[in-house]
Structures are given as structure tokens and as C-alpha cells.
Structure 1
Amino acid sequence: MRVIAPAPFVLALLKQWKQKQAEAKLLSGSLWQGWKTEKERQAAIVFTNELGGHLHPQTVYNHIKKLAASVGAPQARVHDLRHTYAVLSLQNGDDVKTVQGNLGHATAAFTLDVYGHVSEHMKEVSAQRMQQYIENMG
């Protein structure tokens, strides 16, 4: 099992979703297929249909493709979300070990092999930061 620390806005969205699921459970009564007890809810899948059951993979795929098309990326694949996360994390200052852990890579070397092009950009940004630091010393 991999534990990550999502951004606060992600946690807020998940809490909203949890509340919607609780409301759906009340509305569906005995038809609810998901968690029945608090312990089951803690271990349950996060995204469910209106009756608490598993989402069909094609349903998830269709929704992601629709969202991708709406932002002008109709050729985007589900796995591209992972790459986007990794690149943006590295470009915005996350260290390689953190990104490695969040992605579940066995080694930081593998993460760097896959996202080495990002480290080149990071080198440029680092050089600019150092230049600013030196200029501000005086």
C-alpha cells in the first residue's frame, strides 16, 4: 500500500464526495451495494456508482476522454495524467524522492530516467535562482 499526502483542495473534494456517497446510501436504502458499516467505509473504494457499487472501467475511461476533449486534448490517455502529475511536481520543486514515492517507483534513478527532461529545466531554474540570490546579496 502506498500512502500519499494530497493537496488540501483534493482532500476538500474527497470530503464532499464522501458526503454525497453518504446521502446516496441513505436514499438507496437496502439497494446500497457498498459499505454498510463505518469499518467497511474506511476500507471501501472511493468512487462508486449511485448504489455504492464499482464503476465500470469503460465508464471511467469515457468520462476522462470527455474531460480531456473539453480542454483541447482529445488524444490524452488515462496514463497521461500520471505523467502530467510527475512533470508538474518536479517542475514546481518537489524533490525526486517525493515524486518517486508518490508514483510508486522502486528507485529515484528510475524516476529520473523517465523524467530526466524535467531535471534539465530544473537545472535552468536553479541557475536563475542562484543568480537572483547572488544579485540580492549586496
Structure 2
Amino acid sequence: MLNVAEKWNLIPYNPAKRIEAPKAEVEQKTAYTEEQLGQFIKALESQPAKYKAMVYLALTGGLRREEILGLQWNHFNFENNTVKIEQAIFYTKKTGVIAKKTKNDRSTRLLTFPAYIVPVLKQHRAGQLSSRLQLGTKWEGAKEADDDFVFTQWSGKPMFPYTMNKWLSKFVEDNNLPKITPHIFRHMAATYLITAGHDIRTVSGKLGHSQTSTTMNIYSHLMEKTVAGNG
């Protein structure tokens, strides 16, 4: 008895299984030029400490947007200028805004940050503590101030992830700057590390990539330029 393939003169196997699928090209993201970044930072000085802190952490730490919004004050050590990344903020219609553990083991990491960020963070915290005191029992943050999220809504609840994008979009438009997203800040942080000569393992650890190959796939073109420039 003929099988289906023989009856209809079909090839009895899938030839596509023998073909190796082409790797998707990684989009090379466009960062600000040095001049544009200077204009951005200068304009940023007029913004609330809350948003300045967000941007500084993104640019210097290479944090994901959700990781920035997942920070609590107890994650910071201001004596050593370190911050522990161990959770991220997510939003769905079903759950609302919630905090979850970072996406993989390597995403949980301890990062150092420049000393110039400390006064900005402390200024923002002073404002948050003032709001907490004024709202009293209406404050919807943590029971203890140290457990509050660093970046919150007016009521103390954690921020919606897209709030950062919304603020950033309006900010660059108001200041006649090129469009940019929070994720590009992460890309820029990686770019600065690579061009400064840091090795791939250091960059990968800073970004919290699950494997160094992920970092290589995204930034191989920069690595090649750096090696060529040092040759």
C-alpha cells in the first residue's frame, strides 16, 4: 500500500531541514554624538532630580528601563557607591505594575556608580520623603522608607515602565534634540565601555547579559573598531 508521499508523488522528507537558517542581523542602534549628549546633559539640569537620576543611572550603569524602575533605596550603598540590581518592574493589564526578579542569574549584579550621582539621588530622596510625610496614611509605598521604590508615582506606587519613555519623548522634543529611548542609553553605556578598552566579559557583566556571546553579537562591530584602532 502506497503511503501518502508516494501516492501524490511528494518528496518523503522536508528538504528545508537540511538548510541552516540564516542568523538575523542585529540592528546597530544609533547613539547620540558627543555634541548631542552635551546638549542633552545641559538641558537635563533644569529637570527634577527624579529624572536626572534615572538618566544618570541608565547612562553610567547600562541598566534596562525595567531595572531602573525596580530599584529600591535599600539596594544602594552610598558609602561604597554601589547599587544591587536584583529585580525589575513589569506591567500587564492582568497584574498591573509588579516587581519580578531579573530575567536571568547574570542580570542580578552589583554595580558601581560615579560619585556625582549621589547628590542627585539624595536630592530626589529628600523630595520623596517630604511627599511621604505630607501624604501620611495616603502614601501607598512601603511601610519603611528604605523599602520604598526609588522612582514612584505621586502616591508612592512604583512607576509604569512607559512613563520614562513618555517623559523622555517630551523632553527631547522640547529641547530640539534627536529622538531617543531609554534602551539607547543602555547601548550608549556599552559603547563607552568598549571604546574605553574594557574587555567583553566586563561589558557583558555590566549589562547583565546571560552570555558573553550575546554582547558579542550586538557589539562585535565596535569591538573590531576598537581592536583596529589600537593596532
Percent identical among aligned pairs is: 26
* Greater strand content: 2
Query: Considering only CA atoms, is the larger Rg found in Structure 1 or Structure 2?
Result: 2
2:191 is aligned with 1:87: yes
With the length of structure 2 as denominator, give the TM-score of the two structures.
Answer: 0.47
* Greater helix content: 1
Question: What is the total number of aligned residue pairs between the two structures?
Answer: 123
Higher relative contact order (CA 8 A, sep 6+): 2
**Letter of the structure 1 residue corresponding to residue 137 of structure 2:** S
Displacement after TM superposition at 1:49 (Å): 2.0
Mapped contact 2:151–2:159 kept (Cα < 8 A): yes
Mapped partners of 2:208, 2:125: distance in 1: 25
Mapped partners of 1:89, 1:66: distance in 2: 28
SS in 2 for 1:4: strand
Distance 1:89 1:67, change over 3 A: farther
Across the aligned residues of Structure 1 and Structure 2, the Cα RMSD in angstroms comes to 2.1
Structure 2 runs not aligned, ≥5 long: 1-85, 87-107
Displacement after TM superposition at 1:71 (Å): 5.6
**Letter of the structure 1 residue corresponding to residue 151 of structure 2:** F
**Letter of the structure 2 residue corresponding to residue 35 of structure 1:** A
Aligned twin of 1:26: 133
Structure 1 runs not aligned, ≥5 long: 128-138
CA offset digits 1:65-84 (Å, max 9, x no partner): 1233336212x233222111
Mapped partners of 2:171, 2:194: distance in 1: 24
Distance 1:96 1:10, change over 3 A: farther
